[in-house]
Amino acid sequence: DVQLQASGGGLVQTGGSLRLSCAGSGFTFGDVAIGWFRQVPGKEREGVSCISRRDGMTWYADSARGRFTISGDDTKNTVYLQMNSLKPEDTAVYYCGAAAVVLSRHWAEPKWYDYWGQGTLVTVSS
């Protein structure tokens, strides 16, 4: 079975850092794209960042560019999202998703992802 498990969330003050992890099993990590999304109550899930493990391409939302860094370790089947300079508006449940195929223009659209982890809560206090 394909499984994704997101972890690393927590409570942090404004300006602090967190590193989220997305551990996958049941598929070949090097063949997929892994995206990080976030969602707050009442709003749609929004794309934060994505990495194509096949060719190493990365994408970032404007809100994340310059503060967040996505990376992967195929030996551990894990993708990380290093989040620095956190702001209260970064508060959300963060999910990771796996997509067999993702195009540059679609990376931030949840419908292109085939599998999802359970989410990890990030709370940034002001």
Segments in the chain forming alpha helices (H) = none
Q: Is the predicted pLDDT of residue 29 greater than 80, yes or no? A: no
Residue 121 bridge partners (DSSP): 93
Stretch 94-108: mean pLDDT: 92
Stretch 89-93: mean pLDDT: 98
Cβ atoms of residues 72 and 51 within 8 Å: yes
What's the pLDDT tens digit per position in 54-70?
888 999 999 999 999 99
Residue 79 bridge partners (DSSP): 22, 72
Q: Is the predicted pLDDT of residue 74 greater than 90, yes or no? A: no
Place of tokens 């967040």: 68
Under the banding of pLDDT at 50, 70 and 90, the label for residue 21 is very high
pLDDT cut 90: percent of the chain above it: 83
Model pLDDT, residue 53: 85
pLDDT cut 70: percent of the chain above it: 100
Sheet containing 18-25, strands listed edge to edge, beginning at the edge strand earlier in sequence = 3-7, 18-25, 78-83, 68-73
- Report the candidate in 32, 13, 14 with the shortest Cα–Cα distance to residue 22: 32
Amino acid found at 10: G
